Chains A and B, each alone.
Chain A
Amino acid sequence: MKKISINQCGVLIVMCIFANKILLMPSLMYERTSADSIFVLALLFLLDFIILPIFIKLKTLYPDQKFYDVLKEKIGIFFTKLIYIAMLLFFLFKCLLVFSITYVYFKQQIYQDEFLFIALIAFLPVINHAVFVGIRSFSRTIELFFWIVIAGFIICLAISLFTPISSPLFFMSSVSDFFSSMHNHIFAFGDFMFFFVIMDRIDFKKGNIKNLYYYSLFAIALVITLFYLFYAKYQTTAFMHNNALADLLVFSVQFNAIGRLDIIAMLTIMLITLFQMEIFSYAFCDCFMGIFPLNKIYSVVVFDILFLLLYYVFIGRYETMVVSSLHWLPYLALLINYLLPFIILIIVLLKLKRNKSG
């Protein structure tokens, strides 16, 4: 089996961590918890981050086994299939949300009304192709573009420093707002769950496991910096700006001489969106093939049908997708982000206990 290295795993997780957090989320969060959103974000990241050592332990205990097989062995086929159905929906909706948010950005900024078909024609074949060529190939591609994406991201952050910014006001929101914001935005997290799906395709011998922590912390630091700079720049009007990363570039008068710099954000966001969609669609197809032992082509066709169907249902009302991500999708995220890792933790502990007694 073609496996990916720790380094490639790291770049995949960076893309997952960026997902749904760099455009709309800062302004949505600001509505409820103002600048304290940064703490909400940090706490949610912390909760997410706990999953990483659990994953590493599980992978060490079951180095070459599929996650599906591990679950089947421990909790039986019925519950395994149920979990896989939940994961399948989780990844599908994550993919839809990424696309919806990017769709709005591009529609507002560059493509006006034509973007729907353009985006579908441009993105879907590439995403499908990525599923066909497999995780090793597309993770290598992400590795190839990784520093371009990171450079674009950092340039956007750096350019925002050339506009007047002042520290946002913290501790303005109530505790209930704080926790309800946490609950509402939980769907945008659970980034490390993708690792479980591809557990058997990661080669822990290739590289240092510590790098996984470094990559994750690096991505988290970038996202938190983005939130901070965004709030520092827009202050109380932050909720009105829906495209955080791109909006950081606006009003940077020092760079007028070389023209508008939107293109940096545009290319960065396009690449990030495409990579995230590749990851989520791959995860969807993998879960689908776990539930139904069918050929890859069926999983891709099912993904396309569901994606287009749901997209057409939601696209007229892009807000529906966002509202769903804030209201009913968090329950799905609770199951995937916290209940599933808890089950996995028990599996790990039982295995460790058995190893000790054996």
Chain B
Amino acid sequence: MSYFNVEKEVKEAKKSLNECVDFSYRYFKRGEQKIAFVYLKSIIDPSLFSSAIYFPIQTYDDKFTFEVIKNDLIKCVDIKEVKKKDIVKEILDGRVILLTNFSEKILSVDLLKFPTRTPSEPPTSPVIQGPREGFVEDMQTNITLLRRRIKSQDLVMDVVRIGNQTQTKVCITYLKGVANKKIVTLVRQKLNNIKIDGVLDSYNILYCLEERPGSLFKQIGNTEKPDIVVSKLLEGKVAIIVDNSPIVLTIPFIFIEDLQNSNDYYTNHHYSSFVRIIRFLGLLIALIAPGFYLALQLFHYNILPLNFLITIADTTQGLPFTPFLEILFIFLLFQVLYEVSLRLPSYLGLATSVVGALILGDTGVKAGLISPPGVIIVALSKIALYTIPEQAPQITVLQLVFIVLGGSLGLAGIVSGMVYIGNYLNNFDSFFTPYLAPYSPRINEDLKDALLMNPTYSMRHRPRSFSPQKKERL
């Protein structure tokens, strides 16, 4: 009795896949028994196919049955039975389909293999101490990196597929009994609601997950380091691993996270606290230094120390621009240079720095177009920006806002701007978590890992800000 016309089925599969060039099939025939192997040769491991599937079948000299093939002959780990309607989907997932004319069952064997890189130190987060491994584009490797660190039965990994065309695998990871159920449900709900053509990177879904889409402020954490993701999972957060992306998203996110660095946990906590304060000061300088300088120069020069005032007066005398336009000009100049240096090949980068810093800056001052204090202030704010590189995009926009506020309204403008931002950020709770916690609202327990850091052994409770199910770490 013949169950499948294997040639017809192969033809149908080929047609469904638009007869693409990497579509492959092989037949094995012995007497009346016929077996067809269907796969995409570009995404399977050909040597494994030969050694673990084809060769054992070829060398078997008895009558074939489906059970014998499945249980005895195929030497692969991931084997499953599938339905006829799933054949194309399985082939696209890098699996080999086995069709026979002596059984109604269809076998699918995982042989997925494509070029991947090995885990290495991510360029975005180099460390002095602590693990140097980083995530890669292969989701399976990324899951392995997490599994290696969390040997717990509570680690949950649910996979959903997003993208009508790309069918990208997205893995929701969390610790059962630790992560807040409400957050997990909301994340899953948001992921299921994403209607998108394709997901090429985790950033494609990041904007769909945000509680306030379109907001300037970062609402979802991202990292390339497995140790960071593990520490966040232990805090009760949810991680989202996207296939083909080395960036793993973490939810919920609060502002203070960007002041923290994985290095902090591997060094002395006194030093870590000091570094965090420096980062915070860097953030403040980056945010308001140009605007503050303008406010002092234009409205409140009487509070400047006399010597400083004389220096400013000396250097700004005879400039063709107003102070506001001067700072704006230098700000834009720096931004242009930054954008150019990012996109130029590395051998041209040095030349750009020389042209930018020496020729444009120095000549600009000598030509009397810009003043040295202006250059120093803007340069300082631009350097300070990179004490927290994760916040650089939004701080750059806010720098401009504060330049306008300081230049037009003086200190009143800057103070109002700060309070406005405070009110705005306090108004959105990202995934049931106050954005500016643990400072507003003040959560005393969480202050142990805020600007000032306590030793890690004293952090016996998970951060209350994320409302974990299990409060104790032990």
Write the A94-118 contact mask toward B (1 if CB under 8 angstroms, else 0): 0000000000001000110001001
Determine whether the beta carbon of A119 is less than 8 Å from that of B412.
yes
In the bound complex, what is the Cα–Cα distance between A5 and B436 (angstroms)?
Answer: 15
Cβ-defined partner of A122 (8 Å) among B416, B426, B439, B442: B416
Write the A256-270 contact mask toward B (1 if CB under 8 angstroms, else 0): 001110110011001
Known: A8-B441, A262-B303. A138 touches B426 (CB 8 A): yes
Residues in A with CB closer than 8 Å to B439 are: 143-144
Known: A137-B426, A138-B426. A110 touches B419 (CB 8 A): no
Residues in B with CB closer than 8 Å to A136 are: 426
Nearest-Cβ distance from residue B46 to partner chain A, whole angstroms: 60
Determine whether the beta carbon of A7 is less than 8 Å from that of B441.
yes
In the bound complex, what is the Cα–Cα distance between A49 and B415 (angstroms)?
Answer: 31
* Cβ-based interface call for B361 (8 A): no
Write the B433-474 contact mask toward A (1 if CB under 8 angstroms, else 0): 010100111100000000000000000000000000000000
* Cβ-based interface call for A202 (8 A): no
Q: In the complex, which residues 48-91 of chain B have their Cβ closer than 8 Å to any Cβ of chain A?
A: none
Determine whether the beta carbon of A140 is less than 8 Å from that of B436.
yes
In the bound complex, what is the Cα–Cα distance between A336 and B299 (angstroms)?
Answer: 40
Cβ-defined partner of B427 (8 Å) among A7, A134, A267, A274: A134
Residues in A with CB closer than 8 Å to B419 are: 126, 130, 141, 145, 271, 274-275, 278
Nearest-Cβ distance from residue B289 to partner chain A, whole angstroms: 14
Interface centre among B413, B415, B436 (most CB of A within 10 A): B415
Determine whether the beta carbon of B420 is less than 8 Å from that of A126.
yes
* Cβ-based interface call for B304 (8 A): yes
Residues in B with CB closer than 8 Å to A115 are: 412
In the bound complex, what is the Cα–Cα distance between A287 and B411 (angstroms)?
Answer: 32
Cβ-defined partner of B305 (8 Å) among A125, A133, A258: A258
* Cβ-based interface call for B300 (8 A): yes
Write the A290-312 contact mask toward B (1 if CB under 8 angstroms, else 0): 00000000000000000000000
Nearest-Cβ distance from residue A274 to partner chain B, whole angstroms: 5
Cβ-defined partner of A267 (8 Å) among B305, B411, B420, B442: B411
* Cβ-based interface call for B374 (8 A): no
Nearest-Cβ distance from residue A139 to partner chain B, whole angstroms: 8
Nearest-Cβ distance from residue B283 to partner chain A, whole angstroms: 14
If over half of B's interface residues share one DSSP class (helix, strand or loop), that class is named, otherwise mixed; here it is helix
Write the A126-154 contact mask toward B (1 if CB under 8 angstroms, else 0): 10011001101110110111000000000
Cβ-defined partner of A111 (8 Å) among B299, B303, B304, B405: B299
Nearest-Cβ distance from residue A279 to partner chain B, whole angstroms: 12
Q: In the complex, which residues 1-58 of chain A have their Cβ closer than 8 Å to any Cβ of chain B?
A: 5, 7-8
Determine whether the beta carbon of B426 is less than 8 Å from that of A110.
no
Known: A143-B441, A267-B411. A274 touches B300 (CB 8 A): no
Known: A137-B423, A140-B436, A141-B423. A118 touches B412 (CB 8 A): yes
* Cβ-based interface call for A123 (8 A): yes
Q: Count of A-B contacts with CB under 8 A?
A: 104
* Cβ-based interface call for A121 (8 A): yes
In the bound complex, what is the Cα–Cα distance between A358 and B415 (angstroms)?
Answer: 54
In the bound complex, what is the Cα–Cα distance between A138 and B420 (angstroms)?
Answer: 9
Q: In the complex, which residues 388-427 of chain B have their Cβ closer than 8 Å to any Cβ of chain A?
A: 405, 409-413, 415-416, 418-420, 422-424, 426-427
Determine whether the beta carbon of B415 is less than 8 Å from that of A267.
yes
Residues in A with CB closer than 8 Å to B304 are: 259-260
Nearest-Cβ distance from residue A288 to partner chain B, whole angstroms: 20
* Cβ-based interface call for B47 (8 A): no
Residues in A with CB closer than 8 Å to B308 are: 259
In the bound complex, what is the Cα–Cα distance between A138 and B436 (angstroms)?
Answer: 12
Determine whether the beta carbon of A118 is less than 8 Å from that of B423.
no
Write the A236-264 contact mask toward B (1 if CB under 8 angstroms, else 0): 00000000000000000000001110110
* Cβ-based interface call for B346 (8 A): no
Nearest-Cβ distance from residue A188 to partner chain B, whole angstroms: 23
Residues in A with CB closer than 8 Å to B305 are: 258-260
In the bound complex, what is the Cα–Cα distance between A110 and B439 (angstroms)?
Answer: 32
Known: A7-B442, A133-B423, A260-B303. A140 touches B434 (CB 8 A): yes
Determine whether the beta carbon of A110 is less than 8 Å from that of B420.
no
Determine whether the beta carbon of B415 is less than 8 Å from that of A274.
yes
Determine whether the beta carbon of B426 is less than 8 Å from that of A133.
yes
Determine whether the beta carbon of A140 is less than 8 Å from that of B424.
no
In the bound complex, what is the Cα–Cα distance between A138 and B300 (angstroms)?
Answer: 28
Determine whether the beta carbon of A270 is less than 8 Å from that of B412.
yes
Nearest-Cβ distance from residue B80 to partner chain A, whole angstroms: 50
Nearest-Cβ distance from residue A124 to partner chain B, whole angstroms: 9
In the bound complex, what is the Cα–Cα distance between A275 and B436 (angstroms)?
Answer: 18
In the bound complex, what is the Cα–Cα distance between A274 and B305 (angstroms)?
Answer: 27
* Cβ-based interface call for B215 (8 A): no
Nearest-Cβ distance from residue A114 to partner chain B, whole angstroms: 8
Residues in B with CB closer than 8 Å to A260 are: 302-305
Determine whether the beta carbon of B426 is less than 8 Å from that of A141.
yes
In the bound complex, what is the Cα–Cα distance between A258 and B303 (angstroms)?
Answer: 11
Determine whether the beta carbon of A144 is less than 8 Å from that of B422.
yes
In the bound complex, what is the Cα–Cα distance between A141 and B418 (angstroms)?
Answer: 10
Known: A110-B302, A140-B440, A258-B305. A274 touches B422 (CB 8 A): no
Interface centre among A138, A140, A145 (most CB of B within 10 A): A140
Nearest-Cβ distance from residue A277 to partner chain B, whole angstroms: 10
Cβ-defined partner of A144 (8 Å) among B302, B416, B440: B440
Known: A7-B442, A258-B305. A141 touches B422 (CB 8 A): yes
Cβ-defined partner of B420 (8 Å) among A129, A140, A144: A129
Determine whether the beta carbon of B424 is less than 8 Å from that of A133.
yes
Write the B286-312 contact mask toward A (1 if CB under 8 angstroms, else 0): 000000000000011011111010000
Q: In the complex, which residues 331-354 of chain A have their Cβ closer than 8 Å to any Cβ of chain B?
A: none
Residues in A with CB closer than 8 Å to B420 are: 125-126, 129
Which residue of chain A lies nearest to B405 when distances are taken between CB atoms in the complex?
A: A122
In the bound complex, what is the Cα–Cα distance between A198 and B434 (angstroms)?
Answer: 21
In the bound complex, what is the Cα–Cα distance between A326 and B436 (angstroms)?
Answer: 41
Write the A195-217 contact mask toward B (1 if CB under 8 angstroms, else 0): 00000000000000000000000
Determine whether the beta carbon of A270 is less than 8 Å from that of B303.
no
Which residue of chain A lies nearest to B413 when distances are taken between CB atoms in the complex?
A: A122
Nearest-Cβ distance from residue A60 to partner chain B, whole angstroms: 23
Which residue of chain B lies nearest to A206 when distances are taken between CB atoms in the complex?
A: B441
Nearest-Cβ distance from residue B447 to partner chain A, whole angstroms: 12
Determine whether the beta carbon of B410 is less than 8 Å from that of A111.
yes
Interface centre among B306, B409, B418, B440 (most CB of A within 10 A): B440
Nearest-Cβ distance from residue A101 to partner chain B, whole angstroms: 15
In the bound complex, what is the Cα–Cα distance between A260 and B423 (angstroms)?
Answer: 31
Residues in B with CB closer than 8 Å to A121 are: 409
Determine whether the beta carbon of A145 is less than 8 Å from that of B412.
no
In the bound complex, what is the Cα–Cα distance between A80 and B426 (angstroms)?
Answer: 33
Residues of B within 8 A of A (CB): 299-300, 302-306, 308, 405, 409-413, 415-416, 418-420, 422-424, 426-427, 434, 436, 439-442
| Interface CB pairs A-B, < 8 A, 18 | A8-B441, A106-B412, A110-B410, A110-B411, A111-B299, A118-B409, A118-B412, A118-B413, A122-B409, A126-B420, A140-B422, A140-B426, A141-B419, A143-B440, A259-B304, A266-B303, A266-B411, A271-B415
4 smallest beta-carbon distances between A and B, as pairs: A259-B305, A141-B422, A144-B440, A140-B426
Beyond the given pairs A123-B412, A270-B412, 14 more chain A to chain B contacts, judged by CB atoms under 8 angstroms and listed by A's residue number, are: A5-B441, A106-B412, A118-B413, A122-B405, A122-B412, A122-B415, A130-B423, A137-B423, A140-B436, A266-B300, A266-B411, A267-B411, A271-B419, A274-B416
